[in-house]
Amino acid sequence: MAAHVLAKGQTNADKRASVRVEGLKFGGKAMKYAARMIALCSWLVCAACGPPWVVVTATDPNPLPAEREFVVDEVRYEKVLVGDASESGWLRKQDEKQRAAWDTGKRRLSQRYAESLASHLPEVKFAKPNEADAFVVRSRVTFIEPGFYTVTAARPTQVNMTVEIANRAGRAVDVIEIRATAPATMSAPTIAERLASAAETLGERTAEYLRSRVFP
């Protein structure tokens, strides 16, 4: 049986959720993008049957039950894919208004994510970087489907995120993958608004995972 090799930008969740079609060979950005969307649908179906995260690493024995404070790093975006392109490649095709909305959206995502995480896990204290000697929540956005809204058509925004829980020495003890979608509607027509909405869900899911580890 042929080994399944992860494509660039593909996560372990994509690998587990994807459906291989033997004998067919796809090429081009459009087909890669279509494959990613198919994998997303499969992932969402699977997620509906269990927790809304995929565990990449969970240290055993669990080192988190004694922790009651965490530092939350700024959300990172290095090497993020936007649709079927790099962030820089996608931005080159946008006008000035869209580029400004994109920058605003990333700032809102980071802020809303931290706020959502804290509000959904009030039993634990969350600090900003360099404000506490504690385990660190390190989050990196790996993929964004920007979506769009017009009067006649719309596509939701989707955000994929990898979350690491690092110990005081900086080593990741737990790693999970989470996703969130935000509908493109009349009340959320811009990418900035939808990224903020997705961040609320991502923060909630991170909080749910932390609760399962801090209070097992």
Give residue-wise pLDDT tens across range 152-166.
999 999 999 999 999
What is the structure's pLDDT at 50? Answer: 83
Give percent of the chain above pLDDT 70: 77
Instruction: Looking at the structure, tell me whether residues 63 and 42 fall in a common domain.
Output: no
Q: What's the CATH number where 90 sits?
A: 3.30.160
Instruction: Looking at the structure, tell me whether residues 99 and 169 fall in a common domain.
Output: yes
**Is residue 3 assigned to a domain?**
no
What is the structure's pLDDT at 115? Answer: 98
Structural domain boundaries, residue 63: 54-214
Instruction: Looking at the structure, tell me whether residues 126 and 206 fall in a common domain.
Output: yes
Instruction: Flag whether pLDDT at 26 surpasses 90.
Output: no
Instruction: Looking at the structure, tell me whether residues 64 and 168 fall in a common domain.
Output: yes
Per-position DSSP letters for 118-185, written without gaps between them? HHH-TTSEEE-TTS-SSEEEEEEEEEEE--EE-SS-EE-EEEEEEEEEE-TTS-EEEEEEEEEEE--B
Instruction: Looking at the structure, tell me whether residues 40 and 74 fall in a common domain.
Output: no
Q: Please, what is the angle between helix 96-120 and helix 191-214, to 10°?
A: 20
**Is residue 196 assigned to a domain?**
yes
